[in-house]
Structure 1
Amino acid sequence: MMMYFISIILASILMIPLVLKTFSPYVWKDILYFKDLLWILVRFVSRRRRRPLFLVLDRFLEQTAAHPDKPFIVFGDESFTYAFTDKRSNKIAHAMQCQPGYKAGDTVALFMGNEPAFIFTWLALAKLGSPVALLNHNIRTKSLLHCFNCCKAKVMIAAAELKEAVEDVLPSLMERDVTVLLLTEHCDTPGIESFSDKVDKASDGLLPHSLRSHLTFKSPAVYIYTSGTTGLPKAAVVNQNRLLTALAVLSSNGVSASDVIYVNLPLYHTAGFIIGFIGAIETGSTIILKRKFSASQFWDDCRKHSVTVVQYIGEVMRYLCNTPKRDNDRDHKVRLAIGNGVRAEIWRDFLNRFGNIEVREFYASTEGNVGFVNYAGKIGAIGRVNCFHKKLFPYTLIKYDTELDEPIRDANGLCVEAPKGETGLLVSKITDIAPFVGYAQNEEQTEKKRLRNVLKKGDLYFNSGDLMRIDHDNFIYFQDRVGDTFRWKGENVATTEVSDILTISDNLKEANVYGVQVHGHEGRIGMAAVTVKEGVQFDGSAIYTHVISYLPSYARPRFIRIQNSVELTGTFKQMKVKLVDEGFDPGRIQDPLYILNDYDKSYVPLTAQVFSSITSGNLKL
């Protein structure tokens, strides 16, 4: 009888995995995720307790000491070891100390694209205890000056190829006594100093720790620019504590020192800088750095350098899937793709074509205080929600009125939680563990991201501006952005910024800017419903010249719709929902429609034939 009961017990124990897999198919992945999350917390807390302060730079120095001769950055045919990177950054730091107008700890703006000098310079400034503003190298004139000024930088370090862009704003920089350094051997422009020659002559000796002894965990580490709901780009403050937290991003996704990471996304953005560069510092991996994304070169690069981990945004996967098929599409060593913004159908196409690659889709924002990881691999989801995560980072989805562009509140003035399965606005409670630092020199926009009296009187939440849906299996899905921001070519575009620039032209009186969907494309492309000033004819060439001068390519409205008046809501907000729904189809719209044409350098009439070419994919946008 005893043997019978023992057999029953053993059989029951053996049945547990099968039962769990049948009724809770993700339980083992949940357990592994909890283990990873716990390990991240333990490691983070232990680092926080170290004295003197342990910062991202210290992790880089640890990796350099552990394997000095290992390649850290590969750029084209050049390879730079951890030791070389360390010494080169020392030379830059020593050269910086000799620059008049700069002292250790001053904020410095980097204005350059993806190149090893970007990484060398950031590490140098970290050794000097200087916060670094990462300027988008596509911005010009008004936007460039705004981004530089709002972080109160004392110095600008620019790539040689951006000399003309710097010269455009040089008078304003000189008025502010800004030190402008160009990464070149010689510069004959008054007010701009060559810097590469000075770096080459500088010492590569160690920098004393005392240069950064003033830092605390609340000190700004980097400023990363993000276009929010209104206005010009905002400088999201990433402090030393947040950067230390970010160290764990890659290692928590199973990346190790043996991995080779392909970084082709901009280093001035969160994805390239934090996940690519900072993540590789944590794991001690090798970075294959690309100046910019190229769909035609992507897999050849991966094969050449034995890449094992790649980064993506939704557009990257779509571009790769749209390239001509090759017999060697699956001939590579890539095992992991980390990123966000990929549609479910593109995700499936990517796996079917390029092989069994683990896709780690995640959700996060530069300034936000909550994130999700799709560790279970459910196609289409941005993450999986669970009680443990919600305890650490309290969040909820609340009902949102897209017409009024505001949360729905009950009779007590509190927000209404969206039921499971329904779309709601993601908001996350602001706590000591999940703080919201905000934007540099922009309290107004910082306050707009704070949402009060959400679930009870007096509480305070971060408004993500993103609509989400949680299904009955606890997977969370991104639905759309709210307000006045859309995303195109992997970049956030603030509609108010574009509207402001359109209306300072001599041609247009009002402009209502919004994003419209294009078949086969990720995100939304820019469109503007405008009114023309009295007594003036619409001048497509003049408007083209204007937007080219002020806006980067991804933010330029591709379509313009001429209206007699801009429609407003009852609260005098510009109406966008109907305009977004109508899109740019000349068959549905009676108003005159124009399309940006780079060949003619003008906005030209949008005909039914051109519309057909766009929707069929024959005309690329």
Structure 2
Amino acid sequence: MCCLSPPARNMFATSAILAAALVAPLLLLLRIFWPYFWKDVRLAANLLRVLLTFAARRRRKPAYLVLDRFLEQAARHADRPFVVFEGATYSYRDADRQSNRIANALRSRCALTQGRTAALFLGNEPAFLFAWLALAKLGCAAALLNCNIRSKSLLHCFGCCGAKVLIAAAELADAVGEIKTSLEREGVTVLVLTRECNTPGFVSFLGDVENASEAPVPRSLRSEVTFRSPAVYIYTSGTTGLPKAAVVNNTRLLAALAVLSSNGVTAEDSVYLNLPLYHTAGFFIGFIGSIEIGSTIILRRKFSASQFWDDCRRHNVTVVQYIGEILRYLCNSPKKDNDKDHKVRLAIGNGLRADVWKEFLNRFGDIEIREFYASTEGNIGFMNDTGKIGAIGRTNFLHKLFPYALIKYDTEVDAPVRDSSGLCIEVGRGETGLLVSKITDIAPFEGYARNKEQTEKKKVCDVSKKGDVYFNSGDLMRIDEDNFIYFQDRVGDTFRWKGENVATTEVSDILTMMEFVEEANVYGVQVPGHEGKIGMAAITIKEDEEPDWESMFSHISSYLPAYAHPRFIRIQNSVEVTATFKQMKVKLVEAGFNPSMVCDPLFFLNDKAKTYIPMTEDIYNSIVSGTIKL
């Protein structure tokens, strides 16, 4: 029963009406002038929660690391499924015990101790996750080797991290065998996850693991590990040369715990992980992100367009990871009546083209797309939590703590444009500029292992004032009037194909190993309907030599992963260079692989014939129309 008198009730009602009359216009103004107000509020709340959690963990003694979060989940939710793989389900308890066995076996077999590094040469399988947890329990860093690399690249990548132990999958033993002599010379112990290995000197490690104790690994074995200690080495092509080992320390990895939780993913979700675990996206988001919230990982060896949605239905998947190419493949797959019959509510990833974004939503239903931008070694990131199609993110208050700039960049001379005082010039709204982010104590750039030269090359000095130092992302961006950020292109000598960065210098080095090749200028060209750029090379032939295209095919197949194969080769009389002897690429890129625009002899890589064949108008038209799949 109301205790207010009639006059008081009338006054209260009048006040409520007046308040509503004032609030309605205010909400209308917010909708007009600040359309993303409530999303910005939600984002601010999420970021504040993440920062407070991160700060609290950083203050804990002893150091609280990602492994500690996993151990908490294993203790609290031991029976909860952690990873589902090819019909087998492993709980958090199973993962804890199996990683204990691997850790104890490593101690017995090769006396791995804290501060050392071991390399993982494994594909997407539970053993990858368990082995990383085992190394973390021993206080060791893990070098995540790309399982597609071979020969010179494999040896180089292994050498970057300073490891003396290599853990390889059984199916990759032959690849390791190609560099066996070099590994033996360096005293490297090769452990193959099989019960029997026919390669002399390699250890059949699976039996050791099966016979090892599952007793917990004492914390004292990792007591000297700090936040600054390397946690993983992840390889990136960067701008030039062979792959580089980006150093990811424990602070960076601890921050990565929040990537799924900050996007509303909970323990009730199942996360579909088909991206490579040796890459940042699969490792940080799918694996580390799931540890924070205790969700279930549905793990696949590799992406399959034909199996994607069937997997999602079978395992009640609610969250998927992507790179732009994956969603494009799904959109290009045959349409089915049950395309919208699934429980996926969130897709998180990067590299999604606007047209594919629209088509994906129209075809597969109301799925929230969280496009983001980040790089393995970079010190800044952006997230698009508004659903704005085409944008990689939006600036927010947090970027006051992580200053960045878009600066004018001369792609011909491959350097920033500077004013009369020697400082960089920021571009205006709507203009394209190179993204650089300030290197500070809270936004460090750890650089590349054993590669000081390339580490320094990624720094830009004197950006906004003399003496400052920024990280060069190598990416061209633009920002619109609503603070949305759009990726435009990459600069330097790297292009991206099939979700992988390809360093042109590395491919060029491989091509010039052929006896008939004098010089090779490698670059990426756009293919209609495809994300990224595909490899092409302009080469010169040595005097009195003739091209041997079958040998060329065999050579690149031995030294390069498939995504780095130059699909088109153009023969020139000489390679054009700039005044500073840098190879000219702009005109070559513009001409592409269209026979009507290229006057030089042009060849196409035919996988079925295992050779290069002359490029024709018919082949060109078949590629453009999609009849020939690349």
The answer on 1:320 being equivalent to 2:354 is no
2:85 to 64, 75, 94: 75
Residue 15 of structure 1: CA displacement? 2.9
Quote the Cα distance in structure 1 between the aligned partners of 2:573 and 2:581. Answer: 17
Quote the Cα distance in structure 1 between the aligned partners of 2:253 and 2:223. Answer: 17
Per-residue deviation, residues 321-341 of structure 1 (Å, max 9, x unmatched): 000000000000000000000
Where does residue 382 of structure 1 map in the other structure?
392
**SS across alignment from 2:255:** helix
TM alignment of 1:185-334, pairs within 5 A:
185-334=195-344
TM alignment of 1:463-542, pairs within 5 A:
463-542=472-551
Where does residue 565 of structure 1 map in the other structure?
574
Quote the Cα distance in structure 2 between the aligned partners of 1:169 and 1:6. Answer: 79
Quote the Cα distance in structure 2 between the aligned partners of 1:609 and 1:419. Answer: 44
**SS across alignment from 1:569:** coil
Where does residue 417 of structure 1 map in the other structure?
426
2:415 to 406, 416, 427: 406
Decide whether the 8 Å contact of 2:104 with 2:213 is kept in 1.
yes
For normalisation by structure 1, the TM-score amounts to: 0.99
**Residue 432 of structure 2 aligns to which amino acid in structure 1?**
T
Quote the Cα distance in structure 1 between the aligned partners of 2:115 and 2:314. Answer: 40
The answer on 1:453 being equivalent to 2:462 is yes
Decide whether the 8 Å contact of 2:85 with 2:298 is kept in 1.
yes
**Residue 476 of structure 1 aligns to which amino acid in structure 2?**
I
Per-residue deviation, residues 160-209 of structure 1 (Å, max 9, x unmatched): 00111011001100001100000001123211000000100000001100
Residue 24 of structure 1: CA displacement? 1.1
Per-residue deviation, residues 69-93 of structure 1 (Å, max 9, x unmatched): 0110000110000001100000000
The answer on 1:133 being equivalent to 2:147 is no
Where does residue 351 of structure 1 map in the other structure?
361
Decide whether the 8 Å contact of 2:493 with 2:523 is kept in 1.
yes
Residue 278 of structure 1: CA displacement? 0.3
Decide whether the 8 Å contact of 1:72 with 1:286 is kept in 2.
yes
**SS across alignment from 1:373:** strand
Where does residue 616 of structure 2 map in the other structure?
607
Quote the Cα distance in structure 2 between the aligned partners of 1:336 and 1:587. Answer: 44
**Residue 493 of structure 1 aligns to which amino acid in structure 2?**
V
Where does residue 180 of structure 1 map in the other structure?
190
Quote the Cα distance in structure 2 between the aligned partners of 1:149 and 1:113. Answer: 20
**Residue 512 of structure 1 aligns to which amino acid in structure 2?**
N
The answer on 1:371 being equivalent to 2:381 is yes
Per-residue deviation, residues 244-278 of structure 1 (Å, max 9, x unmatched): 01100010010000000000000000011010000
Quote the Cα distance in structure 1 between the aligned partners of 2:83 and 2:216. Answer: 21
Decide whether the 8 Å contact of 1:310 with 1:337 is kept in 2.
yes
Quote the Cα distance in structure 1 between the aligned partners of 2:298 and 2:95. Answer: 14
Quote the Cα distance in structure 1 between the aligned partners of 2:626 and 2:198. Answer: 47
**Residue 296 of structure 2 aligns to which amino acid in structure 1?**
T
Decide whether the 8 Å contact of 1:101 with 1:178 is kept in 2.
no
Quote the Cα distance in structure 2 between the aligned partners of 1:152 and 1:5. Answer: 72
Residue 571 of structure 1: CA displacement? 1.9
Quote the Cα distance in structure 1 between the aligned partners of 2:324 and 2:213. Answer: 44
Decide whether the 8 Å contact of 1:102 with 1:154 is kept in 2.
no
The answer on 1:545 being equivalent to 2:545 is no
Decide whether the 8 Å contact of 2:113 with 2:221 is kept in 1.
no
**SS across alignment from 1:317:** helix
Quote the Cα distance in structure 2 between the aligned partners of 1:510 and 1:65. Answer: 59
**SS across alignment from 2:306:** helix
The answer on 1:58 being equivalent to 2:79 is no
Residue 389 of structure 1: CA displacement? 2.2
Unaligned residue ranges in structure 1 (runs of 5+): none
1:597 to 596, 599, 606: 606
**SS across alignment from 1:567:** coil
**Residue 60 of structure 1 aligns to which amino acid in structure 2?**
F
Per-residue deviation, residues 286-325 of structure 1 (Å, max 9, x unmatched): 0000000000000000000000000000000000000000
Decide whether the 8 Å contact of 2:101 with 2:213 is kept in 1.
yes
- Range with greater deviation from structure 2 (423-432 or 389-398): 389-398
The answer on 1:47 being equivalent to 2:39 is no
**Residue 425 of structure 1 aligns to which amino acid in structure 2?**
L
Decide whether the 8 Å contact of 2:119 with 2:158 is kept in 1.
yes
The answer on 1:20 being equivalent to 2:61 is no
Quote the Cα distance in structure 2 between the aligned partners of 1:249 and 1:423. Answer: 28
Quote the Cα distance in structure 2 between the aligned partners of 1:493 and 1:82. Answer: 36
Where does residue 124 of structure 2 map in the other structure?
114
Quote the Cα distance in structure 2 between the aligned partners of 1:122 and 1:88. Answer: 11
Where does residue 581 of structure 1 map in the other structure?
590
Quote the Cα distance in structure 2 between the aligned partners of 1:392 and 1:505. Answer: 50
Quote the Cα distance in structure 1 between the aligned partners of 2:480 and 2:203. Answer: 57
Residue 111 of structure 1: CA displacement? 0.3
Decide whether the 8 Å contact of 1:409 with 1:415 is kept in 2.
yes
Quote the Cα distance in structure 2 between the aligned partners of 1:444 and 1:494. Answer: 16
Residue 236 of structure 1: CA displacement? 0.3
Q: Cα RMSD between the aligned structures?
A: 1.2
Decide whether the 8 Å contact of 2:317 with 2:344 is kept in 1.
yes
Decide whether the 8 Å contact of 2:79 with 2:93 is kept in 1.
yes
Per-residue deviation, residues 213-233 of structure 1 (Å, max 9, x unmatched): 111111000000000111100
Quote the Cα distance in structure 2 between the aligned partners of 1:393 and 1:100. Answer: 42
TM alignment of 1:95-114, pairs within 5 A:
95-100=105-110, 102-114=112-124
Task: Indicate how the Cα distance of structure 1 residues 166 and 5 shifts in structure 2: closer, same or farther if over 3 A, else same.
Answer: closer
Decide whether the 8 Å contact of 2:113 with 2:139 is kept in 1.
no
Quote the Cα distance in structure 2 between the aligned partners of 1:279 and 1:209. Answer: 23
**Residue 302 of structure 2 aligns to which amino acid in structure 1?**
K
Where does residue 441 of structure 1 map in the other structure?
450
Quote the Cα distance in structure 1 between the aligned partners of 2:17 and 2:49. Answer: 37
Residue 570 of structure 1: CA displacement? 2.0
**Residue 239 of structure 1 aligns to which amino acid in structure 2?**
N
**Residue 286 of structure 1 aligns to which amino acid in structure 2?**
T
Where does residue 345 of structure 2 map in the other structure?
335
Residue 102 of structure 1: CA displacement? 3.5
Aligned-residue sequence identity (percent) comes to 67
**Residue 212 of structure 1 aligns to which amino acid in structure 2?**
R
Quote the Cα distance in structure 2 between the aligned partners of 1:180 and 1:310. Answer: 34
1:147 to 157, 161, 176: 157
Decide whether the 8 Å contact of 2:114 with 2:224 is kept in 1.
no
Residue 7 of structure 1: CA displacement? 4.3
**SS across alignment from 1:99:** helix
Decide whether the 8 Å contact of 1:260 with 1:308 is kept in 2.
yes
**SS across alignment from 1:36:** helix
**SS across alignment from 1:579:** helix
Quote the Cα distance in structure 2 between the aligned partners of 1:43 and 1:79. Answer: 30
**Residue 465 of structure 1 aligns to which amino acid in structure 2?**
G
Quote the Cα distance in structure 2 between the aligned partners of 1:227 and 1:274. Answer: 18
